[in-house]
Amino acid sequence: MNIIGPDTLVFGVDDIDACARYLVGYGLKPVSTDEWGQRFEALDGTGVVLFHQDDPMLPPLLGTASMLRKTVYGVDTGVTLEAIAHELRRDRQVRRLANGSLETVDDMGCLLGFQVSVRRPVRLAEVALPRSLSNVVNFVPDAARAKGFYVERLGFVCTAHPPGAGSFLRPAGTDNRGI
């Protein structure tokens, strides 16, 4: 069975606005708000749906601290979806929803969904924008001497030393997430 991965995570939360701000800050895009919750998506169409924790559309809590109420997994084809339904019906109820997806529970009582995946190809910009400058590479005749100066005198940190090449150095007080 070719289960690609989670397509949608459904949460029941106590503060939808705070959770929405977090998801937007994380980089997800708000795409809809309706009776099916407030949906936020990644570039490929996978996403998170928020409901208020007391919404009657949600399944009951499991008695843990988790606010996750349903995980919907994407599969590659309708054939795979049918194979999953056949396999799971051996020992549990599997419902077919109006949108063609399947719904069941796992052995712990967690609500699971399966659907032909909503994932779409991601087209990133041809040129990524740097977050920050953090390393400088100097091509010098004596790499060991240059490294000694920056490390011993200025407190730089060696972030990489490829064999047969010089060192990548950065000031100790900077992060290393840029270029």
Residue 162, both tokens: 């490829």
Examine the pLDDT at 73 and tell me if it is beyond 80. Answer: yes
C-alpha pair distances (Å), 173 with each of 131, 132, 161, 176? 16, 13, 19, 10
pLDDT in tens, 5-39: 889 999 999 999 999 999 988 888 899 877 778 99
Burial of residue 40 (CB within 10 Å: 0-12, 13-18, 19+) is: buried
| Backbone angles phi and psi of 108, in degrees to 5 | -95, -5
The percentage of the chain sitting over the pLDDT mark of 70, rounded to a whole number, equals 81
Q: Is the pLDDT of residue 85 over 70?
A: yes
Strand order in the sheet with 3-13: 29-34, 37-41, 47-52, 3-13, 68-75, 111-116, 102-105, 95-96
Nearest to 23 by CA among 4, 36, 38: 38
Segment 88-134, tens digit of pLDDT: 999 999 999 999 999 998 887 889 999 999 988 877 765 544 334 44
The pLDDT tens digits for 30-60 are 998 777 789 999 888 899 999 999 999 898 8
Helix (H, G, I), strand (E, B) or coil at 179: coil
Structure confidence at residue 50 (pLDDT):
96
Which residue, 152, 153, 151, is CA-closest to 169? 151
User: Residue 144: what pLDDT?
Assistant: 81
Looking at CATH, the fold of the domain delimited by 3-116 is given as 2,3-Dihydroxybiphenyl 1,2-Dioxygenase; domain 1 (3.10.180)
Residue with the larger pLDDT of the pair 88 and 154: 88
Instruction: Report domain extents, the chain.
Output: 3-116, 127-179
